[in-house]
Amino acid sequence: MIRQLVLSLVLLCPARASLGQTADRQPSREATQTQLRPPGEGRLQILTSRGGMVGIGRITEVRDGLVFFDQHPGGRAVFRVADIRRVEEVPASSVKDGEYWHPNPSGTRLFFAPTGRTLRRGEGYFSDTMLLLPSAAYGFTDRLSLAGGMSLVPGIGANQLIYLIPRVAIISKRNTSVAAGALLLTQASWWRDRDQGDVIGGWHAAATLGGPYRSVTAGVAVGLPNSRAALMLGGEYRLTSRLMLVTENWLVGQSEPITSIGVRMLNEKVSTTFGVYRVGAGGDSVAIPYLDFTIRR
């Protein structure tokens, strides 16, 4: 049973990106709360007042207890320093038609398959797929992260699956990301009786081309020993600040192709994905619903 699931789960639960430290990621609020100064080149600021007013633009000057703020795309506002709750600096490319498009909390995954993006140091997440596959992950460095979880399928007792997935970033640039990782998979019964289950391994790699709003990802996964390679091609397309299309398509040896399409609803710290898998082609194909949610740290 485990051997048959390796290729399906080797792409499972990759580390999902929270907002981080690269040019396309929002810095932490604590780091920017007192930055009452003009932003860097190619950056804008989101200013929130204590009264709840939110402005997008640039601080141009701070003097005599006042902050002069050029709004984007036009206009000027003046705030008292004492009335400013926080200032966050974001890439200018993340502001479209005067609206801030926050990063995708699930930026390092499609459905099950990982993208080439990885967690940064100190980032983490909790997620659950179909309410049956909870997982968590943490970025130990900007290049090394670890994910793990288990299945909670009713009625199978100690035959639940437990897995660990370390991942390493190989290339991490603005529009090109490549990462590779491994999978250790066993049954829960292995922990109490080492003769009742095997620890099976595998490896995977993924490359993502494109920015945070439109990208294509290609991946490969191999279960060991002597398992066939699984090939994956997918992508994502951001429709609005809060809605994204996602697709993920697999080919495992001579098996029937697996295709999928879905929508991801985005919030600052939470994403929810609804989709459907189609196994096979033509009239004999089977449709399988998909649901997951992610809460980022």
Q: Which residue has the tokens 């490969």?
A: 220
The one-letter code for the residue type at 180 is A
Q: Do 149 and 163 contact (CB within 8 A), yes or no?
A: yes
Give CA 166 to chain center in angstroms.
15
Distance CA 143, CA 120 (A): 7
Give the integer Cα–Cα distance in Å for 80 and 77. Answer: 10
- Choice among 25-29, 37-41, 76-80, 105-109 with the minimum mean pLDDT: 25-29
User: 238-248 pLDDT, tens per residue?
Assistant: 999 899 999 99
Which two tokens mark 125? 């997440």
Query: What does DSSP assign to residue 20?
Result: -
Q: What is the mean pLDDT of residues 207-230?
A: 87
User: Does the pLDDT at position 23 exceed 80?
Assistant: no
Structural domains for the chain: 2-23+103-296 (2.40.160.40), 29-100 (2.30.30)
Under the banding of pLDDT at 50, 70 and 90, the label for residue 195 is low
Which of 18-22, 195-199, 204-208, 251-255 comes out lowest in average pLDDT?
18-22
Q: Are 257 and 251 in contact (CB under 8 A)?
A: yes
Tell me: pLDDT of 85 over 90.
no
| Residue that has been written with the tokens 């141009």 in this structure | 60
Between 272 and 5, whose confidence is greater? 272
Region of poorest pLDDT, from 33-42, 78-87, 217-226, 266-275 = 33-42
20 pLDDT band (50/70/90 cuts)?
very low
**CA Rg value for the chain:** 22
